[in-house]
Structure 1
Amino acid sequence: MTAHMTATRKEWLAARLDLLAEEKELTRRSDELAVRRQALPWVRIDKDYRFETENGSASLIDLFKGRSQLLVYHFMFGPDYTAGCPSCSSIADGFNGFVVHLENHDVAFSAISRAPLAKLQAFKQRMGWTFPWASSFGSDFNGDFSVCFTEDQQREGGIEYNFRREAPSPQPRQERGSEKPVSQMAAMTGTDAATFTRERPGLSAFALDDGVVYHTYSSYARGLDGLWGMYQWLDRAPKGRNENGIWWRHHDQYGRS
């Protein structure tokens, strides 16, 4: 028998209407924040970033594909990874469906990672994805947008992520069979925790105006929650996120030991 509170339909409706008022307020507040995002000042980008794509070498302007706006998902897939970050992969499972809608609303989209293009393409094929994915291997792009850090930065406290500086983190000793969440995710990418966390997830937005690219917005860490489709569904499920550690996998790994 359930231990959760139960009620009559009339009592449920009264409670639901109270919650609805707060949900509406949250929606209005979200609309206000969207306006404030769009009102942020733009920062001109003069550096000539180069990327490798399935269509060859490309500049940042090329990624716009003739559109005036570009959204980039900074996908955690470092040069030493053998597979993409499982969290980024879970988010990316939703990209295929919406890219066509963005592209028909003057917004280009691309995932960008530091791994060489051949690695990205192999993993993309494995996952059955079709969205654009560019390699920034050898470029300053990931470092400049605070989603990639060096071993020295990690060890000496030089990592500034999500607009705050992190404490020094000496390379952790990895234990066989560790159940720590970061170690679990690192293992899914074929790396150790230190290597894994030198890459970080994020979203950045760019505008193209009169031939000039501007950086307009970036978000990191839990600022990406809204992009993670499964969580939007779980937050509306009876038991919510109901998590105990890392439970998600690459979508082709469920059911495997």
Structure 2
Amino acid sequence: MSDQQTETRSELPDSHPPVVSRAEWDEAWQQLLVKEKAATRARDALAAERRRMPWLAVEKDYAFDGPEGKASLLDLFGGRRQLIVYRAFHEDGVFGWPDHACPGCSMVADQVAHLAHLNARDTTLVFVSRAPQADIARLQARMGWGHIPWFTVTDGFDKDFGVDEWHGHNVFIRDGSRIYRTYFVNSRGDEQMGGTWNYLDITPLGRQEEWENSPEGYPQTPTYKWWKWHDSYVEGAVPDKKWVEVSDAGEAAFRDSL
């Protein structure tokens, strides 16, 4: 056999799954889909249970440095009802300093979706680190993270909320000026963060859609109707008539999948 006729060796591992017909592939996919739908329903049930977790009152005052100066924990809400605080490691002594933040925390930052959608659900996401604001601003400019509100921890906030030695998301809700801690997730739980729905699923009010199993009186709106282009959220705006028609059809399919 000539060199031109030599068979190219596969770069795939010998243990890869078998190659099958379309019918066999469809059957295998349908079998797996049953388990995936069960996992989705279990995830929804877990989120419903999360919305019923007891709350912990925040009794201490915490101070942060921000782009506009000093800020309290209440200020971090940005006037919204819910707050998600991610502790990112960017400080002296952390691998990558001062040019980069922790590689894992940087992966989390790279996943963050457009925040207009979270904001539309009365929810604010912020990052906090020990680095001074000048270093944070330089990092944001280098890595394209300027859209993420990022504050400097100046006191014991990180230790009090379990993020002094490892990254994590703390979730808060406020009633006027009273603040409550409602949830905490870290380690591999952080891997799912970044998308709007996953963020909302860890908040006490959830996605705030009618299909969710939430306590009586929680804010809920029709499924899909609040969705907009990220540059089109206007307070009090009526959903576009055409989008209502499209989303009605999508909602019917969504309910059939529950």
TM-score normalised by structure 2 residue count: 0.66
Deviation at 1:210, TM superposition (A): 2.9
User: What secondary structure is seen at the aligned counterpart in 2 of 1:215?
Assistant: strand
Deviation at 1:87, TM superposition (A): 1.3
Counterparts of 1:116-131 in structure 2, within 5 Å, are: 116-129=132-145, 130-131=147-148
How far, CA to CA, are the matches of 2:44 and 2:158 in structure 1? 29
Q: How does 1:69-218 map to 2 (within 5 A)?
A: 69-80=82-93, 81-82=97-98, 83-95=100-112, 97-129=113-145, 130-136=147-153, 138-148=154-164, 199-218=165-184
In 2: Cα distance, 1:210 partner to 1:119 partner? 33
Q: Distance in 2 between matches of 1:84 and 1:108?
A: 22
Query: In percent, how many aligned pairs have the same letter?
Result: 38
Aligned length: 178
Quote the residue 2:19 is aligned against.
6
Partners of 1:34 and 1:72 in 2: how far apart? 18
State the one-letter code of the partner of 1:122. R
Equivalent position of 1:40 in the other structure = 53
Q: Match for 1:200: what amino acid?
A: W
* 3-state DSSP of counterpart to 1:213: strand
**Which runs of no fewer than 5 residues in structure 1 stay unpaired?**
149-198, 233-257
Q: Deviations over 1:87-135 (max 9, x none)?
A: 111110122x331111121001100111111111111111111210000
Task: Specify every segment of 5 or more residues in structure 2 that has no aligned partner in the other structure, as ranges.
Answer: 1-9, 199-258
CA RMSD, 1 decimal? 1.7
For the 8 Å contact 2:108–2:190, the answer to whether it is kept is no
Query: For the residues of structure 1 that align with 2:42 and 2:194, how far apart are their CA atoms?
Result: 20
CA distance in 1, matches of 2:38, 2:45: 11
Matched to 2:184, the amino acid is S
The question of 1:28 aligning with 2:41 is answered: yes
Instruction: Assess if the C-alpha contact under 8 Å between 1:43 and 1:216 holds in 2.
Output: yes
Larger Rg: 2
Paired letter, 2:82: Q
TM-score by length of 1: 0.66
